[in-house]
Amino acid sequence: MINRQLLLTYLYLLIYILLSSGVILYNKWVLSPQYFNFPFPITLTMIHMGFSGAVAFFLVRILKVVSPVKMTFEIYATCVIPISAFFASSLWFGNTAYLFISVAFIQMLKALMPVATFLMAVICGTDILRCDVFLNMVMVSIGVVISSYGEIHFNVVGTIYQVTGIFAEALRLVLTQVLLQKKGLTLNPITSLYYIAPCSFVFLFVPWYLLEKPGMEVSQIQFNFWIFFSNALCALALNFSIFLVIGRTGAVTIRVAGVLKDWILIALSTVIFPESAITRLNIIGYAIALCGVVMYNYLKVKDVRASQLALESIPERAVKDLGLEKKSSDLYVPDSGINNPNGGKNGWNSSPSDSSVDEEAPLIPLSRVSHLGRSQPGSHTE
């Protein structure tokens, strides 16, 4: 007889994979001039941020599902604002890439997420340069270069947008880890959206006003309320599905699910968007990059388990004296954004990206989500 809890876990994983893939394909369909023809990625991102912020406000202030955290002006200025700025940038650049390159090629480029996050972590001093990890990063980079060389419809502008979005997301992940944990601030998905979505909306307003507003003649805009509503709803649901999956599984499972999702997404995108053909060199390059990502994930999980064993070997009294908590989830450091987020989208990944707009990128570190998912999801990524 199949264990009911195990079946529920697989159901959550399936929902996560479907929503993650669906949000990416939906965004591509909406933005692509060949389909729905709404070539305004900043506007689409602002719709997602506005919708997510409104829902979060309703849940926090009206229904009082969760209580807002103790937010001071200092924390908001030094933590929320910079994180929101990079979150908005990653979504802006990631969504803009859909106008120039295929979904399949975007997923291949997102293999660079561990490379970007590792580099940002080393620069910010939260990680050290290790030979084994560096070699994995070289393997991933070589694979992505080969895959790019084999891309039939290679576009420099689209590639630059996507890579810039990846590095913006990587910096957001590192900043989230450094700033929020340094301040001792713990956010769940609802409170994350409550504080970060409105701030991201404000940041996006400036580029929207300068870049998209002049070209948005009402007579030329194809606006369908139900399409944009359902698109924003899917993005919001993706954030919560990541929260549920991480709460019931672990880092290894979510990473494996992310890899599986990428392959499914690449295959689906070639069916739904026939113009995005895949070459043999694409597959070879992506396979090489994926090997590097898998090895990198293995090293990270190995480090986490070693840290867990070291912490568990400390006597309970010593742990209390040091002010430590034996929570394995708090030892997990977000790195690849889980394709994410944007990765990606992905930071809570992750992964908004896969941000909630770009794809799935969550707004808070996976360590915090993991802890909350197992204990108090109602208290305390788009």
Is 91 a domain residue? yes
Is 351 a domain residue? no
Range of the domain at 163: 4-216+224-311
The number of distinct structural domains making up the chain is 1
Is 369 a domain residue? no
**Cβ count within 10 A of residue 308:** 15
State the Cα torsion 164-364-175-297 to the nearest 10°: -70
The answer to whether 347 touches 173, Cβ cutoff 8 Å, is yes
The residues, any chain, with a CB within 8 Å of residue 80's CB and separated by 6 or more, are: 71, 195, 196, 199
Closest CA to 184 of 51, 327, 22, 75: 75
Is 339 a domain residue? no
Return the ∠ at Cα 241 (arms to 171 and 9), rounded to 5°: 120
Is 210 a domain residue? yes
* 285-304 exposure pattern, b = at least 16 Cβ within 10 A, e = fewer: bbebbbebbebbbeebeeeb
Is 306 a domain residue? yes
Is 35 a domain residue? yes
Is 326 a domain residue? no
pTM over 0.85? The answer is: no
Q: The dihedral of CA 212, 174, 231, 30: what is its sign?
A: positive
Closest CA to 243 of 64, 90, 382: 382
Burial of residue 63 (number of CB atoms within 10 Å: 0-12, 13-18, 19+):
exposed
Per-residue pLDDT of the chain (382 residues; tens, 9 = 90+): 567 777 888 888 888 889 989 999 999 999 988 888 899 999 999 999 999 999 999 999 999 888 888 888 888 898 899 999 999 999 999 999 999 999 999 989 998 888 898 898 888 888 888 888 888 889 999 999 998 888 888 899 999 999 999 999 999 888 888 877 777 777 777 888 899 999 999 999 999 999 998 888 765 677 789 999 999 999 899 877 877 777 677 656 777 777 788 888 888 888 888 877 888 898 999 999 889 888 887 887 787 778 778 777 766 555 555 554 444 333 333 333 333 433 333 333 333 334 333 444 444 433 333 333 333 333 333 3
Closest CA to 278 of 101, 112, 158, 140: 101
